[in-house]
Amino acid sequence: MKRQWTVLFFLLCSLTVLAGCGTPKEPANAMLGTQERPLIVGVTAGPQAQILEQVKTVAARDGFVIKVAEFTDFVTPNQALANGEIDANAYQHQPYLNHFNKNNGDKLVSIGKTVLLPMALDALPDGTKVAIPNDPTNGGRALLLLQSAGLIQLGTNDITVTVADVKENPRHFEFLEVEAAQVPRSLNDVDAAVINTNYALEAGLSPVADARFVETKESPYACVLAVQKDAKTDTAYAKLLSYYQSEPVRDFIHKEFKGALVPAF
């Protein structure tokens, strides 16, 4: 008999660190009010890169040139932005951006929302063995979702909450902490799993079809377009955001991802 799993789709913008990166070599300028060169925007490979390619196409109709810089990890895009190697990035949610700034002393800011990779939750019976990502932000968000669904009670609402902060566990869940990329492979060993969007999609799992509770676009975990603080008021970034938040891009997100990712604008 085929085993049945309950899957919690942990659909984050970013967080798990993978090997390798695609740091662009072309240096970026701080201010781009008049576009003297392409605007370099960093994204993670996969859905975020697909969306930015659509933004690039929309912008090109007005002669606004965007260069897409893909990264295969989730730390380097912020480091590249802080170092001026890229002009903006679009891959992370606000809590993660805040966490990065706090830990690194950087001053990166959001200029607007992009997409939400909503976390989805199915019903969980008593005694469920639940696999969650083992890094602070991924694991913390998983636990916060369980709390918001009334399934557990935590001692703190900080995004870096851990299993040790679970104060009430009336359904006697057993948590298995796994490296985020390996969570889909843990399904044979657990009854439920919290999985990042890209890994869920790669594993052939559908958050839309299998979930009963899904975050809305008002979620604090919506992804943002980030720039250096001193460049926040530059008109080039306002243009970039307007192209990202355009109707053609919104339509592409709906058509391509069918609810796995949703516009947050």
For residues 65 and 44, what is the distance between their CA atoms, to the nearest angstrom? 19
Q: What pLDDT is attached to residue 13?
A: 54
pLDDT tens digits, residue range 19-60? 233 444 444 444 454 566 899 999 998 899 999 999 999 999
Q: What pLDDT is attached to residue 6?
A: 55
Looking at every residue in the chain, the average pLDDT score rounds to 83
Burial annotation 167-199 (CB, 10 A radius, 16+ → b, else e): eeeeeebebbbbebbebbebbeebbbbbbbbbb
Strand, helix or coil at 145? helix
Q: What pLDDT is attached to residue 78?
A: 97
- Look at residue 14 and tell me whether its pLDDT is greater than 50: no
Percent composition of the chain: helix, strand, coil (DSSP 3-state, to 5): 35, 25, 45
- The answer for residues whose C-beta is within 8 angstroms of residue 1's C-beta and 6 or more apart is none
Structure tokens at 72: 């295969």
